[in-house]
Amino acid sequence: MNTIIETNKTKLLAAMPAVKSYEARLASLNDWWGKIALIGKINSHNVASTILDDMNLTKSKFGELQQKLTYNLLVENLKKLVLDNSSKAQVAIDLLIRNLFERTADVGFLATDDDIRSFLISGNSDREGIDFIENRLREYVKKYSVYDEIIIFDTEGRVKAHLDNENPISHSTDPLIAETLKSSAEYTETFRYSELQPNKRHSLIYSCKITESNQQGSKAVGVLCLCFRFDDEMAGIFGDLLAADDDGTLMILGTDGKIIASSDEQLMPLQAAFANANPVNIASYKLREYIVNTRQTKGYQGFFGLGWTGRMMTPLETAFKRNEAVDRGSAYTDIIDQASTFPQELKDIRKASSDINADLGLLVLNGQIASARKNAAEFMPVLEAIKEIGSDIANIFADSVNSLQEVTVMSSHLNNAGFLASLAVDIMDRNLYERANDCRWWALTSTFRHCLAQPEISSKDEQRMTDILQYINALYTVYTNLYLYDKNGRILAVSNSYERSLLGMQVDERSGAPAALRNSDSQSYSVSPFIRTPFYGNRYTYIYNASITHLARQDQVLGGIGIVFDSEPQFSSMLDEVLPRDEAGKLLEGCFAFFTDRNKMIVASANHPSLGAGDSLAIDDRFFAMRTGQRGSEVIQYNGVQYVLGMAVSKGYREYKAVDGYSNDVFAFVFIPF
């Protein structure tokens, strides 16, 4: 940071109107001080010399202090911008990586789908067989709406089935097919232009070989390709992170430093290249200078994707012009000065300017006494003018520091807290979107539908269902248990061998199962309230459910699937991820966060051991009156301590909680000691 300021001080100063204004006002006062002192020397030789020399020393002290002030104002304004923009760059790449992590599980699981395997092994390419598979893929995309194309190839690169009717592909020699067939990895990730989607400028494709069985070394029979809606996803991320009046451009860069996604393609087009990848720097692009913030992904569950980075670029000439000040003279003014986060050097500058001005007052008083003794009445106005200038200079110092406190420090804390709370509920919505998809897709497993359609379910069928549940749960570890139940709500199979005591039991009325058993729509799902449940060791969680229907008569409900979300570690991890940290990555002391429902009940907590799921959060009722999707922040007292409180209400992700009929407002509250 210091290096950037030292090498770009003139540019930065020119871009900061407030700092320039203070410098101009101080320069004008210094100039006026010099003129008045000269007048005093000319007209009052007998008393002026010593007094004015002492005053000039005072003026020099003000000058030295002015340099410190200017430097610190530059530092703090730049720090605020870097904090804001770095957060956006970091969140952009990390949200994307979180999403893509889920895709790596999807492609591996779908590649083991029995219907797809049977389709390829049989070599059946008649229209009925193709229609069956394509309808199955269509059901998949209706749930996992992050995909715009799914293609099934045989080992020769011939298309056996796919979804997009606008895609003319029938055969492909794209190298990713051969690479996938040769690979021993669980999936292959490819981002570039691909003939698999010839009408798209680029594609993000997750591919996996399809084998005859799950046995190691099993013969490959084809390749599955999931085509992710990359541009659509990035438009959503950029839209959530950038305000309507934000001058900056948010982007994702490939490993070669070229833009692969941009919030403003006219200003920052795809494939534009940037050599410098420093976390913070000032760079020139098309004759315009930008403050550039670049962030590597922190990864998720050990997944780092293709090595992409997030970047935010803000034009230097507009970077510091946005006025985000809280009201001057507001209730915050009294507490800002006590904030440990406010730079001590700036507090010292303000005090030093006040002390210098007090010394100047004594010099003026001595001058007035000396003038009276020597009958130098003409020197009195000079002294009064210099005293007034000193007072004005001290006021500018105080005003600049106070303004920095309110405009830069306070708004930064408030904006950051609200942003973190909003990020927390966004992460939750994106995660639970996947859970709603999972239960609906797994409910379409043909083996489940076949077994549940039998008049009597044999122990062999129960074991087949158990094996599949265990295989799924081994891939999707965010669940403690998956279970199947018949149309009467009797549990037939579980994935968790430690939960076998549930077999034969009736599903809990509040588990969400009754609603699933009443609805045969393959797009529908039901969710339990956030309650204590025996399916989660009498702890609080959500259970997602979907109905299992007859293969031939799809309006006939045969039973359902319940998936028990491992809420305690998953939600706490989400909250912990957004809590503020210092430059070394250490959690800021005293901060904590909660998810709650609209009735103040805590869903999860992070870094607050005395409150957990099921407890009540004792803060003002008005915070729980916020609308869906709303966010805010303010300073509050909680248990006798001042905090900046960030708050936000979930708004859903894609169709989840937006248009799918499920309503469940969750609040995030982030407490940062001030």
Q: Is 219 among the domain residues?
A: yes
Rounded to whole angstroms, the maximal C-alpha distance in the chain is 121
How would you classify the pairing of strands 592-596 and 602-606?
A: antiparallel
Looking at residue 152, its pLDDT comes to 97
Q: Are residue 78 and residue 163 in the same domain, yes or no?
A: no
pLDDT by residue (tens digit) across 318-328? 888 765 444 44
Looking at residue 232, its pLDDT comes to 96
Interior angle at CA 206, CA 205 and CA 208, nearest 5: 135
Listed in sequence order, the residues at least 6 apart from 53 whose beta carbon sits closer than 8 Å to its beta carbon are none
Q: Are residue 113 and residue 187 in the same domain, yes or no?
A: yes
Q: Are residue 450 and residue 550 in the same domain, yes or no?
A: yes
In 3D space, the residue among 528, 551, 553 whose CA is nearest the CA of residue 541 turns out to be 528
Looking at residue 45, its pLDDT comes to 58
Question: In what side-by-side order are the strands of the sheet with 249-253?
Answer: 259-262, 249-253, 309-315, 288-296, 280-285
The DSSP output letter for 165 is T
In 3D space, the residue among 245, 576, 251, 631 whose CA is nearest the CA of residue 419 turns out to be 631
| d(C-alpha 513, C-alpha 547), whole Å | 8
Q: Are residue 550 and residue 575 in the same domain, yes or no?
A: no
- H or E, element range at 359: helix 344-373
In angstroms, what is the C-alpha Rg of the chain? 33
Q: Is 317 among the domain residues?
A: no
Q: Strands, DSSP E only, in 551-623?
A: 557-565, 592-596, 602-606
φ/ψ of residue 183, rounded to 5: -75, 145
Q: Is 308 among the domain residues?
A: no
Helix (H, G, I), strand (E, B) or coil at 469: helix
Return the sign of the alpha-carbon dihedral for residues 526, 529, 534, 539. positive
φ/ψ of residue 553, rounded to 5: -110, 85
Structure tokens given for 83: 């904090």
Cα separation values, 154 from 131, 164, 182, 472, Å: 17, 18, 14, 25
Q: Are residue 20 and residue 62 in the same domain, yes or no?
A: yes
How would you classify the pairing of strands 309-315 and 288-296?
A: antiparallel
User: Whole-model pTM?
Assistant: 0.87
| d(C-alpha 253, C-alpha 294), whole Å | 9
Q: Which residue has the tokens 């690479």?
A: 179
What is the secondary structure of 67-114 as a DSSP string?
Answer: HHHHHHHHHHHHHHHHHHHHHHHHHHHHHHHHHHHHHHHHHHHHTT-H
Q: Which residue has the tokens 């293709």?
A: 306
Q: Is 548 among the domain residues?
A: yes
Show which of 224, 239, 256 is a domain's final residue. 224
Cα separation values, 385 from 167, 352, 364, 506, Å: 81, 21, 10, 90
Q: Is 189 among the domain residues?
A: yes
Looking at residue 328, its pLDDT comes to 43
Structure tokens given for 29: 């006062």
| C-beta contacts of 621-627 below 8 A and 24+ residues apart | 623/647, 623/667, 623/669, 624/596, 624/598, 624/599, 624/600, 624/667, 626/667
Helix (H, G, I), strand (E, B) or coil at 135: helix
Helix (H, G, I), strand (E, B) or coil at 524: coil
| d(C-alpha 224, C-alpha 108), whole Å | 9
| d(C-alpha 341, C-alpha 509), whole Å | 51
Q: Are residue 554 and residue 441 in the same domain, yes or no?
A: yes
In 3D space, the residue among 277, 303, 276, 275 whose CA is nearest the CA of residue 94 turns out to be 303
Q: In 10 A of CB 385, how many CB atoms? A: 18
What one-letter code names the amino acid at 303? F
pLDDT by residue (tens digit) across 415-428? 889 999 999 999 99
**Mean pLDDT per 10-residue run, the chain (674 residues)?**
80 83 81 74 64 77 80 84 90 95 94 94 85 94 96 96 94 96 95 96 97 91 98 96 90 95 96 82 90 93 94 92 50 57 72 78 76 70 81 82 72 88 96 97 96 94 96 93 97 96 94 96 96 95 98 94 97 94 82 97 96 96 95 93 95 94 96 90
Q: Please count the structural domains in the chain.
A: 4
- H or E, element range at 531: strand 531-533
Q: Is 140 among the domain residues?
A: yes
C-beta separation of 644 from 672 below 8 A: yes
| d(C-alpha 69, C-alpha 52), whole Å | 25
In 3D space, the residue among 14, 94, 43, 641 whose CA is nearest the CA of residue 420 turns out to be 94
Q: Are residue 210 and residue 121 in the same domain, yes or no?
A: yes
C-beta separation of 335 from 635 below 8 A: yes
Looking at residue 178, its pLDDT comes to 97
| C-beta contacts of 236-245 below 8 A and 24+ residues apart | 236/654, 237/92, 237/95, 237/96, 238/92, 238/263, 240/426, 241/88, 241/91, 241/92, 242/88, 245/322
Listed in sequence order, the residues at least 6 apart from 413 whose beta carbon sits closer than 8 Å to its beta carbon are 341, 633, 644, 672, 674
φ/ψ of residue 43, rounded to 5: -100, -10
- H or E, element range at 634: strand 631-638
Q: Are residue 561 and residue 589 in the same domain, yes or no?
A: no
Q: Are residue 592 and residue 658 in the same domain, yes or no?
A: yes
Show which of 524, 550, 566 is a domain's final residue. 566
Q: Is 577 among the domain residues?
A: yes
C-beta separation of 238 from 91 below 8 A: no
Q: In 10 A of CB 665, how many CB atoms? A: 18
In 3D space, the residue among 66, 64, 70, 62 whose CA is nearest the CA of residue 5 turns out to be 70
Q: Which residue has the tokens 């588990």?
A: 511
Show which of 550, 566, 582 is a domain's final residue. 566
Looking at residue 402, its pLDDT comes to 76
Q: Is 303 among the domain residues?
A: no
Q: Are residue 112 and residue 177 in the same domain, yes or no?
A: yes
Looking at residue 365, its pLDDT comes to 80
Cα separation values, 439 from 310, 375, 537, 544, 598, Å: 32, 97, 21, 6, 26
Helices of type H across 221-289 = 230-241
C-beta separation of 121 from 139 below 8 A: no
Supply the range of the domain harboring residue 58.
2-82+325-414
C-beta separation of 522 from 138 below 8 A: no
Looking at residue 72, its pLDDT comes to 80
Q: Are residue 13 and residue 64 in the same domain, yes or no?
A: yes
- CA atoms within 13 Å, Cβ hemisphere of 36: 23
What one-letter code names the amino acid at 343? P
Q: What CATH code is carried by the domain that includes residue 662? A: 3.30.450.20
Q: Are residue 132 and residue 23 in the same domain, yes or no?
A: no
